Copies of this chain bind each other. A is one copy, B any other.
Amino acid sequence: MKTYRRELWFEVPTRRGFVNITPQVEECLAASGIREGLCLVNAMHITASVFINDDEPGLHGDFERWLENLAPFDPDGYQHHRTGEDNGDAHLKRTIMGREVVVAVTGGKLDFGPWEQIFYGEFDGRRRKRSLVKIIGE
């Protein structure tokens, strides 16, 4: 069995944003030499997400508006803020979007459906944060 690990670093200049990280994950897979297996990609921070959806700006606008409605940014609105933080909403938004994806590796490629792309979802940006890529297989 082979394994491969790499951290992907980001500094999203705004509080919230989505970054298509499919090319970087494909680079990891190529570097791993793994042809059959599973590829885990997860946010290493608890106010960020890794998810799969379409790379379409209108959809990303819909996600932004929808998440703001389900878990609004509100400096005075969360018990978590007693610790001095203002990012309670980001913990909830990331919960909706998910921490991680597991993608099949087949024939040396990410085994995607027609529109699947991997995104890093930032909900408390303006600082350096990272995701983990871990691939196992052979």
A111 contact set on B, CB distance < 8 A: 5, 132, 134
Indicate how many identical chains form the complex. 3
Chain B residues closer than 8 Å to A92, beta-carbon distance: 62-63, 66
Residue in B closest to A97 when the chains form the complex, CB atoms: B95
Within 40-56 of A, Cβ neighbours of B (below 8 Å) are at 40, 42-46, 51-54, 56
CB distance from A66 to the nearest CB of B (A): 6
User: Which of B43, B56, B101, B136 contacts A37, CB < 8 Å?
Assistant: B136
Whether the pair B62, A91 counts as a contact (CB closer than 8 A) is yes
If A40-B102, A134-B38 touch, does A45 touch B114 (CB 8 Å cutoff)? yes
> Does any Cβ of B come within 8 Å of A138's Cβ?
yes
Which B residues lie within 8 Å of A36 (CB)?
Answer: 1, 3, 136
Q: Chain A interface mostly helix, strand, loop or mixed?
A: mixed
A116's nearest neighbour on chain B, judged by CB, is B46
> Is there contact, CB below 8 Å, between A80 and B102?
no
Does A66 contact B71, Cβ atoms closer than 8 Å? yes
* Contact of A81 with B by CB under 8 A: yes
- Return the 8 tightest CB-CB contacts between A and B, nearest first: A44-B113, A104-B134, A58-B79, A3-B36, A59-B80, A61-B79, A58-B80, A62-B78
